[in-house]
Structure 1
Amino acid sequence: MRERRRLRMGVLALVSLLLLGAVPLYFGLRTLGRDPVFDTLDGLNVPAWAAEKTVDNVSGSRWCFEDCRLRERTVESQKAPKETAQAYEQALANDGWRRWKVNFCPEQPVKGSYTCWRRDELTLDLWVRERTCAPPPVDGAQTPSPAPSPAAGKCAGSLVSVKVRNAIDDERTGPQPTTDPSLTGEDPYPTLTDDPLGELTPSPS
């Protein structure tokens, strides 16, 4: 009976140690596998209609080995781009993000609303535009449909793209190049002569 009791206590102690170690291990692996920036985006107070069909993509290294981490999120919204952009901008402002007015935001002209934000060591690009729908495939056995109108490719709602980078890896956080001629200075010797040595001063006799 004594041996059985010791064996039972040993098994209980082993199970307790395994359980106590499994819980931190689970959350540790979850933390390593899940980028906390996405948790921050999940915490944005946006309406449910503005956060449907979320698709996340991540690239680069969290510790900036070779390339720093780039987080990208695409979300569909049921309402128009203007109302959707207002909802996201308000949510970002309430969460501590500040509007960032910087050159190359965006890098090239785009349709819709494109704004840039900063918070702590992160930068965020928010692009809200009209959602487009691909036309349905045409069966070869069926009679092809007539050419769609210009508005046929548009769908109700809007598409939201969010791009989050480390500020240290965002080239827009550094000095911006300029082509202002006033910053190049003036030539101290604007007049040139044919003789590179100039005219010789006659020595006194």
Structure 2
Amino acid sequence: MRARRRLRMGILALVSLVLLGAVPLYFGLRTLSHDPAFDTLDQLQVPSWAAVKTVDNVSGSRWCLQDCRLRERTVESQKAYKETAQAYAAALAKEGWRRWKVDRCPEEPVKGSYTCWRRDELTLDLWVRDPTCVPPPVNGEPAPSPAPSPAAGKCTGSLVSVKVRNAIDDERTAPQPSTDPSLTGEDPYPTLTDDPLGELTRSPS
């Protein structure tokens, strides 16, 4: 009887230890796998028509091992890009984001509305433009006809792209080198003459 009781107590203690360790491990893995930056984007109070379909993508390492983390979100909107851009700009400002007027925003000229934002240790790129409408494939092959334009009434709405990076990893936050000539100083190298030996100084006779 004593041996059975000891065995039962040992089993109960082992099960308790497993449960006590599994619960913190579960929540710890859940926290590591979830990015709080997406929670920030989820808190944006945009109209329902401005967030019809959302696709998230994450690349890089949270601890900046080789590449720092890049969060990308693509959203479909039912209205034109101008109205959609205004809705997202108002939502970002309400959540504490501030417009960031910086060079290379964007890197290259693009169609639509492209703005940059900053909040705390994060930077955000917001690009809103007309959707790219491609006809559905026919028998597994792309349709030969050109894609319909939004003006034709067959392709409406807009497409929203959001990129969130850590400010320390955003090269646009680093100070750019100045090209002010007053900071370069004098040229340490004298102007060379045609004769590499220069003129010889005659010694007094």
The alpha-carbon distance between structure 1 residues 153 and 26, as it changes in their structure 2 partners (threshold 3 A), is farther
Measure how far apart 1:26 and its partner are: 3.6
| Aligned residue number for residue 174 of structure 1 | 174
| Structure 2: unaligned runs, 5 residues or longer | 1-6
Instruction: Confirm or deny: 8 A CA contact 1:81 1:129 kept in the other structure.
Output: yes
| Aligned residue number for residue 98 of structure 2 | 98
Q: Percent identity?
A: 83
* 1:54-203 to 2 correspondences below 5 Å: 54-139=54-139, 151=151, 155-176=155-176, 187=187, 191-202=191-202
TM-score normalised by L of structure 1: 0.78
Structure 2: which amino acid aligns with 1:50?
A
Structure 1 distance, partners of 2:114, 2:28, is 36
Structure 2 distance, partners of 1:31, 1:164, is 19
TM-score normalised by L of structure 2: 0.78
Residues 124-158 of structure 1: CA distance to partner in whole angstroms, max 9, x if unpaired?
10000011221133359xxx997666555961110
Residues 50-87 of structure 1: CA distance to partner in whole angstroms, max 9, x if unpaired?
11210000000001111100000000011110010011
Structure 2 distance, partners of 1:32, 1:201, is 77
Measure how far apart 1:19 and its partner are: 6.5
Measure how far apart 1:120 and its partner are: 1.2
The alpha-carbon distance between structure 1 residues 18 and 49, as it changes in their structure 2 partners (threshold 3 A), is farther
Structure 2 distance, partners of 1:161, 1:201, is 73
Give the root-mean-square deviation of aligned CA atoms: 3.5
The alpha-carbon distance between structure 1 residues 154 and 194, as it changes in their structure 2 partners (threshold 3 A), is farther
Structure 2 distance, partners of 1:154, 1:178, is 50
Measure how far apart 1:110 and its partner are: 0.7
Structure 1: which amino acid aligns with 2:38?
F
Structure 1 distance, partners of 2:95, 2:145, is 49
Residues 142-177 of structure 1: CA distance to partner in whole angstroms, max 9, x if unpaired?
xx9976665559611100000011111111111335
Structure 2: which amino acid aligns with 1:44?
L
Q: Which moved more, 1:50-59 or 1:166-175?
A: 166-175
| Structure 1: unaligned runs, 5 residues or longer | 1-6
| Aligned residue number for residue 4 of structure 2 | none
Instruction: Confirm or deny: 8 A CA contact 2:133 2:147 kept in the other structure.
Output: no
Structure 1 distance, partners of 2:103, 2:169, is 16
Q: Which moved more, 1:29-38 or 1:191-200?
A: 191-200
Aligned length: 201
The alpha-carbon distance between structure 1 residues 189 and 153, as it changes in their structure 2 partners (threshold 3 A), is farther
Structure 2 distance, partners of 1:163, 1:145, is 33
Q: Which moved more, 1:189-198 or 1:167-176?
A: 189-198
* 1:3-22 to 2 correspondences below 5 Å: none
